[in-house]
Each structure stands twice: as structure tokens, then as C-alpha cells.
């Protein structure tokens, strides 16, 4: 009866968020006195899959059917449900993502499971199975008791600090039965965000708003991001004006991120923007308006012109 972790791939590599999910799942397995098994869907080398052992998994089930190369919530749910039934799983762990969210909803029906999303701590097993969840876009927490036989935990990014160990996981081919109904949704194309560091996976993010005055000035943002090995992001007005791609828009109607450090440059801090970033561990705000609302949510603030502050900050980072 192992804990099962759904681990996503990105170009044949385990995503950072999935490494965190494996680590979390292994910790839950320790609490339950059992082992952790990862289920991976898509093309990947066994050597890469075996690295799941560094995060606590003892075994990886690999479903590599060519039909599954494109992410498909319906088909993936069938695969994960079959893996759960084979392993006698009572707890399934996954990292929140658009694919995982779509799949988890279907798993609830297939396995008659209980689902808790935005989980931010290990479960409390002292009196049942209770989890702590982030709610209201990070403004509050809820404690939820899961009573279903099978429990699905969708964890929030940075729930636990991952500690790697020198270990490898065994890799087994997994070939569950699939039918035409699993492919009732067809993926026609996939548009992926580009860049040295992808925003959903980033620990450090440098973001900017209309205070940059135009797309031609974005170089100072990218220079700081490059110096920090960070991802870049933007506010909704910036993406609406096509200054930056919509894949960089963070906020209530964009991506919701939880980096270790979020640097906001020339962003006033409307509530809609805060909804996407207030789970960041540390927020730094740079704005020439000392009354900008964002300063109320900042851990650190710099009152100054971004065109003066950012180049100086970049030079300081490079000097380190």
C-alpha cells in the first residue's frame, strides 16, 4: 500500500514541482509506515526516472505509450487510477498545475476519492487525516478532514524544503488498458513558454508593470533576471498591451506563483495582481510612488525610479 505520486515531465525531465511532490509524498509515506511510488507518463530515459529516488521514491511506474505523449487529463486520469489500484494506494500526491487539476477532478470520480487542494503542510494524523490548505488566494488557511478511503493531495509549491539523498528508484514499465473514450479530448497543439527559467517552476521572479513605460525598456528587467537566474513576469495591463507575452502574466486571471523571492518593479499592487503573488515567501517592491498599495504587502520596499534602481541593483548582484 504505497503512497502514489504523479510526477510530470518537461522535455523528458522531472519538473522541479514534481521533485517537490515526490519528496512530500515520501514524507507522507514515512508517516504511514509505507513506501513512495511515482507514476510518470510520457517519454523519458530510465536514468532520469531513477533520479526520483533522490527525493524519496523507491519505485517509478513508467507509462510510455505513444498515445500519451501529449498531456491529456482524461487519459492521464485513467493511467493514474490504474496505478493506484495496482499499488493499493490510499493517498495520491501531485503538484498543482493545469494538467494535474484537470486530472485530479476526474480521479475523484474514478476512485471515489476525497480531494484537498493547495495543501501547505504534511497531514496531521493524530486524529484522522487533517490537512492545512491555503485559501482566499493565500490570505487565510483552512483545516480540512479527509474521510474518504482514497485521499488526493494537491500540494502548493514550496510546501517543504526538498532535501536530496544519494539513492535511485527502480523503474518498471506500466501499460494500463486504454480505450477510445480516454481520448475524447484531443490535444491539437501545445504552446510552451520559453526562456532560460520557466515562470511556473521559478524560485526567483522579477516582474514589472506599466511603470516601465514601454516594451523597449524591458531590457533592465531582463538584465536583473539574468543576473539572479530568475524568471520574468508582468502585470495584466502589460500583457494586455502586448508588451510582454500572456504566459508571463501573473495575477488573479493569470498565473498564480509561489517563488521564494518576488521582485515587483513599477507595479502599483492592485488586489488582482496580489492574488497571484501573495504566496511568495519574500516580496520586494520597487516604486517611485511611496503611496503605492504594493508596499503594504511587501517584506522590503525601495522608493525610487526603476530606471535608476534596477541597473544599480543588477550591478550589485553581478558583483556578488
pLDDT in tens, the chain (320 residues): 899 999 999 888 999 999 999 999 999 999 999 999 999 999 999 999 999 999 999 999 999 988 888 888 899 999 999 999 999 999 999 998 888 998 999 999 999 999 999 999 999 999 999 999 998 877 789 999 999 999 999 999 888 889 999 999 999 999 998 888 887 777 676 666 665 677 888 899 999 999 999 999 999 999 999 999 999 999 999 999 999 999 899 998 888 888 999 999 999 998 899 989 988 999 999 999 999 999 999 999 999 999 999 999 999 999 98
Q: What are phi and psi of 202, to 5 degrees?
A: -75, 140
140-145 sheet: strands from edge to edge: 140-145, 130-135, 114-119, 151-155, 91-95, 3-7, 36-41, 59-63, 170-173
Find out whether 57 and 5 touch, Cβ atoms under 8 Å.
yes
Q: Quote the pLDDT of residue 10.
A: 87
Q: Quote the pLDDT of residue 68.
A: 86
Find out whether 182 and 70 touch, Cβ atoms under 8 Å.
no
Q: Detail the residues annotated as belonging to a binding site for FAD.
A: 210, 266-273, 287
Torsion angle of alpha carbons 203, 273, 221, 195, nearest 10°? 50
For residue 165, the SS3 value is: coil
Fold held by 199-319? Rossmann fold (3.40.50)
Q: Detail the residues annotated as belonging to a binding site.
A: 210, 266-273, 287
Closest CA to 7 of 125, 169, 134: 169
Fold held by 3-183? Rossmann fold (3.40.50)
Give the domain ranges of the chain: 3-183, 199-319
Q: Quote the pLDDT of residue 161.
A: 86
Q: Quote the pLDDT of residue 191.
A: 64
Q: Alpha-carbon distance 58 to 2, whole Å?
A: 10
Counting Cβ atoms within 10 Å, is residue 128 exposed (0-12), middle (13-18) or buried (19+)? Answer: exposed
Asked if domains 3-183 and 199-319 share a fold, the reply is: yes
Amino acid at each position: 500500500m504505497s503512497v502514489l505520486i504523479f510526477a510530470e515531465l518537461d522535455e523528458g525531465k522531472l519538473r522541479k514541482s514534481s521533485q517537490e511532490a515526490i519528496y512530500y509524498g515520501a514524507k507522507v509515506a514515512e508517516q504511514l509506515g509505507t513506501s513512495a511510488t511515482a507514476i510518470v507518463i510520457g517519454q523519458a530515459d530510465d536514468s532520469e526516472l531513477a533520479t526520483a529516488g533522490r527525493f524519496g521514491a523507491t519505485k517509478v511506474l513508467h507509462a510510455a505509450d505513444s498515445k500519451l505523449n501529449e498531456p491529456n487529463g482524461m487519459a492521464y486520469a485513467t493511467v493514474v487510477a490504474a496505478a493506484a489500484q495496482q499499488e493499493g494506494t490510499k493517498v495520491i500526491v501531485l503538484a498543482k498545475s493545469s494538467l494535474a487539476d484537470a486530472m485530479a477532478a476526474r480521479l475523484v470520480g474514478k476512485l471515489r476519492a476525497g480531494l484537498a487542494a493547495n495543501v501547505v503542510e504534511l497531514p496531521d494524523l493524530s486524529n484522522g487525516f487533517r490537512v492545512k490548505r491555503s485559501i482566499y488566494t493565500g490570505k487565510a488557511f483552512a483545516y480540512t478532514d479527509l474521510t474518504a478511503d482514497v485521499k488526493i493531495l494537491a500540494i502548493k509549491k514550496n510546501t517543504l524544503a526538498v532535501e536530496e539523498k544519494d539513492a535511485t528508484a527502480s523503474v518498471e514499465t506500466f501499460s494500463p488498458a486504454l480505450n477510445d473514450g480516454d481520448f475524447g479530448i484531443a490535444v491539437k497543439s501545445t504552446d510552451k513558454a520559453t526562456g532560460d527559467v520557466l515562470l511556473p517552476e521559478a524560485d526567483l521572479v522579477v516582474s514589472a508593470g506599466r511603470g516601465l513605460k514601454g516594451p523597449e525598456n524591458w531590457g533592465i528587467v531582463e538584465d536583473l533576471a539574468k543576473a539572479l537566474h530568475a524568471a520574468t513576469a508582468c502585470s495584466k495591463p502589460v500583457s494586455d498591451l502586448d508588451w510582454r507575452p500572456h504566459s508571463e502574466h501573473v495575477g488573479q486571471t493569470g498565473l498564480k506563483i509561489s517563488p521564494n523571492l518576488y521582485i515587483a518593479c513599477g507595479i502599483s499592487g492592485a488586489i488582482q495582481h496580489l492574488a497571484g503573488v501573495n504566496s511568495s515567501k519574500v516580496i520586494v517592491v520597487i516604486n517611485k510612488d511611496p503611496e503605492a498599495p504594493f508596499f503594504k504587502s511587501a517584506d522590503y520596499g525601495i522608493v525610487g525610479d526603476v530606471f535608476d534602481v534596477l541597473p544599480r541593483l543588477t550591478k550589485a548582484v553581478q558583483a556578488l
